[in-house]
Amino acid sequence: MNDIEKRIEDLIKEINYHNHKYYVEDSPEISDFDFDSMLKELESLEEQYPQYKKNNSPTVRVGGEAVKGFNEVRHDVPMLSQQKAFSKEEILDFDRRVKAVVPNAKYVVEQKIDGLSVSLEYENGEFVRGSTRGDGITGEDVTQNLKTIKSIPLVLKDTIPYLEVRGEVFLSRDNFEKINSILEATDQALFANPRNAAAGSLRQLDPKIAAKRNLDIFVFNIQQIQGKEIHSHTEGLEFLKEQGFKTILDEKAYDTIEQAYSRVIEIGEERGNLYFDIDGAVIKVNDIASRELLGNTSKFPRWSIAYKYPAEKQTTVIRDIKVQVGRTGVITPLAILDTVHIAGSNVSRATLHNLDYIREKDIRIGDTVVIQKAGDIIPAVVEVIKDKRSGDEKEFEMPSHCLECGAEIVREEGEAAYRCTGLNCPAQRMRNIIHFVSRTAMDIEGLGPSIIEQMLDRGFIETAADLYYVKAEDIADMDKMGEKSAQNLINAIEKSKTNPLYRLINAFGIRLIGEKAAKTLAAQYKTLDNLRNATADELTQIDDIGAKMAESVVKFFNETQTIEFIKKLENAGVNCIDESENDIVDKRFEGLTFVLTGTLEKYKRNEAGAIIENYGGKTSSSVSKKTSYVLAGTEAGSKLDKANSLGVKVISEQDFEEMIK
């Protein structure tokens, strides 16, 4: 072994050791800086000497190449579900069935993690495959995504010939909130609860996305093992802990079902103080030989049962209803409550979702109500106790203007949500800036949500226009920065000043105005000043600009915040003129409308769309009888079906290339 190979092996051992101390034992011995330095050295050596890179190197935790789909995995040992109990009587019945076969059975109790069940397989001590439970018999190979979970050991302490364990992948409550904050700020659909977020993250085709989600895991069972005998569940999990796994189990076994049930109730009382979600507690027979005697049904083991906790509810009084502005501008009514203790925490506020929800349940200020924590996280009002009304209760009215910034609050036709229209509304600054710098808008490379959040926190910016006044020395000491990175970012911001006008219009985030409409408006009006002075009647004369879009544009440019925002951009030297040449020489697609669907091999959809528009054609997101062609790639879905049903001509990528030769 040469010096380079030995250094790589030493780094891997040291990084794995400190990774385990940090993510499993929660007792780090070195600083984040020192850990990152070792990881960077390893990455550099592996890049220079790829022949020495190990399959289970710690560098795989950042995620590898995206996959096209997941392969099926057939489980040698079925991953069965749990029989469920909702009362003490059902637990006692379970005990009677067990004792009829194993009179001296002892039990263990563990928290039932609300996550996604997976199998981890190891050969000669190395992690070789990970898969989802699926239907219990067949799951999906998600090995690369599981490698990004830092609490999963890639190499075990001992060289065990073969080991398969079962665990539950989950997302901590803090990480769940962070992910939803980013999704909300970028106008993406939010996850309903941590379990959905964990499942969605683990099934990402791109492991780099899974890596960013900071998933975690608790291992709770040995499915198969070769080279070692395990006699009890507690012994097995102690062994797994020694091998580097993060396990979840009380240290003791219980002699009676009454003792086990008491522990189940204790866990239920503790769940509000946990950093992860549980939806119950599991009672298991401890002895492995006894489990084999008891056996399984086709659906679940006869040696274990899951007690499911009921959703906790409390009664309280609504003292007021206030509104808060979300990062997308949505106005959410909040009930201000007499404080009550529920699911482990004190609750003094509850969401009322929207005005329609308030009217449907006839919720009023002063009402006595029942609240419940949805998924043990977000309190919600679920019922009004109308018998307790005194007649002094008041109906809630949605404010007409935002309490944060004073801008008008509007409700679009067909939507339940009310929204603040303020460009500089403090409550939605993060979302507005993220959109402003995004790829289809001003395309400022390197300016991600975490950097924007730090700039806002430090007071360097209040709006996206302030980005053009930030200096490299201001941001050099921020996390994940440095002098070089700071200067590169400032260069990217400076470069964006020369973007075409349509990018700036799209970056404004005007409701109903996307990239395509922004191009149309830039081509029609040529300067931002001309567009700002356009009337709704003038705007509706333009093809593809409807009445609602026109009204949205006029409202946006009449806001005081918008006027001040644009003035800052102009003073910074941001381009506000359309200098593109509109005369299309080759108009072969003039009068034709294309819809793109599926995955193309040689082009991204926006690239193919740009080609169509450069030849005078139009693109649309929906298929109708007016559609000229549907350009269908692989895995085309409902749009292809609709095209066929309407008799619209469908072309392949090869056909498209023939058309543009």
Bridge partners, 306 (sequence order): 84, 282
CA distance linking residue 494 with residue 609, whole number of Å: 28
Structural contact between residues 73 and 131, judged by C-beta atoms closer than 8 angstroms: yes
Phi and psi at residue 122, in whole multiples of 5°? -130, 135
Output the six-digit token pair for 507.
């970056």
DSSP helix/strand/coil, 313: strand
Q: Which of 84, 88, 99, 112 is catalytic?
A: 112
Phi and psi at residue 636, in whole multiples of 5°? -65, 145
Instruction: Give the number of residues written for the chain.
Output: 661
Structural contact between residues 504 and 566, judged by C-beta atoms closer than 8 angstroms: no
Output the six-digit token pair for 349.
């506020």
Provide DSSP, 329-393: SEEEEEEEEEEEEETTEEEEEEE---HHHHHHHT--BT-EEEEEEETTTEEEEEEE-GGG--S--
Residue 238 makes CB contacts below 8 A (sequence gap 6+) with none
**β pairing state of 418-420 and 409-410:** antiparallel
Q: Is 112 a catalytic residue?
A: yes
Give the CA distances from residue 548 to residues 211, 514, 551, 621, in Å, rounded to whole numbers and listed in that order. Answer: 41, 13, 5, 18
Structural contact between residues 317 and 338, judged by C-beta atoms closer than 8 angstroms: yes
Give the CA distances from residue 130 to residues 112, 185, 243, in Å, rounded to whole numbers and listed in that order. Answer: 21, 32, 17
CA distance linking residue 507 with residue 498, whole number of Å: 14
Q: How far is CA 519 from the centre of its chain?
A: 31
CA distance linking residue 335 with residue 200, whole number of Å: 31
Angle between helices 173-185 and 429-437 (to 10 degrees): 60
Sheet holding 116-123, edge to edge: 126-132, 116-123, 162-170, 216-226
Q: How far is CA 432 from the centre of its chain?
A: 19
Report which DSSP code applies to 266: H
Structural contact between residues 306 and 82, judged by C-beta atoms closer than 8 angstroms: yes
The residues that are catalytic are 112
